[in-house]
Amino acid sequence: MASNGRPEQGCALVTGSARGIGAASARALAADGWPVLVNYRSDAVNATELVEAVESGGGRALAHQADVADPAQVEELFSRAEDELGAVLVLVNNAGVRADGLAPQLKADDWQAVLDTNLSAAFHTTRRALRPMLRARFGRIVNVASIVGPRANAGQANYAASKAGLIGMTKTIAVEVARRGITVNAVAPGLVETQFTEGLGNGLADGIPLRRPGTPEEIASCIGFLASEQASYVTGSVLTVDGGLSA
């Protein structure tokens, strides 16, 4: 064990980390000394630029393409991490998609695609990550949920269901593994300025007490805290980061 209580060998994996909250989280974890595996599904250019930025700052990073909704690709992702960076001891489940529409018009494929990526993929990666974490008696899992999980947002029944499910999964697994030194938490962002939220921001900031959207870096700082030794007594929690919107 290192002096800060975490194992000396190991790495961090951030799913969907080519841009936005995922990229900011990868940078924050690299700054904290973790080798980082940058996962992307289609944005190879931004993923490569992120790896170069981390390495230019003295960190270590690799990029790996994988659709985390596919369990076989999840296994390949973890094998790459273990072969080149070490066991995944920090997992940030950030990958997410939207397919908005009012419930009567929502297509079955759109419902399933959002559940597969936002919820089932997080289960696949979490289940795989727990193997080395249980052996190491150390682990940090942070799930990127949303205030849309516990708070209604018309036109996003699939997204809300996936994020509410992610919160429920977070709490349950946290209880299951707490005795082995593994913490499982979630962050629930509100409106954040990213490519993912384009088209959602018109007028929404007016209802936020801080009167502005958040930034990816502000969410990443909370993720970094939950992944740190300073948060070793925090598990099964949901940290809401929304500028006071749900207060």
- What's the pTM value of the predicted model, to 2 decimals? 0.94
pLDDT digit string (tens) for 136-184? 999 999 999 999 988 878 999 999 999 999 999 999 999 999 999 999 9
- 4 in a domain, yes or no? no
Range of the domain at 78: 11-241
- 160 in a domain, yes or no? yes
Residue 40, domain CATH = 3.40.50.720
- 103 in a domain, yes or no? yes
Tabulate helix, strand, coil % of the chain (nearest 5).
45, 15, 35
What is the average per-residue pLDDT within 69-90? 98
Number of separate domains in the chain: 1
What is the average per-residue pLDDT within 84-108? 97
Catalytic residue among 66, 124, 159, 191: 159
CA distance 182 to 192: 28
CA distance 187 to 32: 19
Contact 243, 214 (CB under 8 A): yes
Q: Is 233 a catalytic residue?
A: no
Between the CA atoms of 105, 107, 110 and 115, what dihedral angle is there, to the nearest 10 degrees? Answer: 90
- 5 in a domain, yes or no? no
- 246 in a domain, yes or no? no
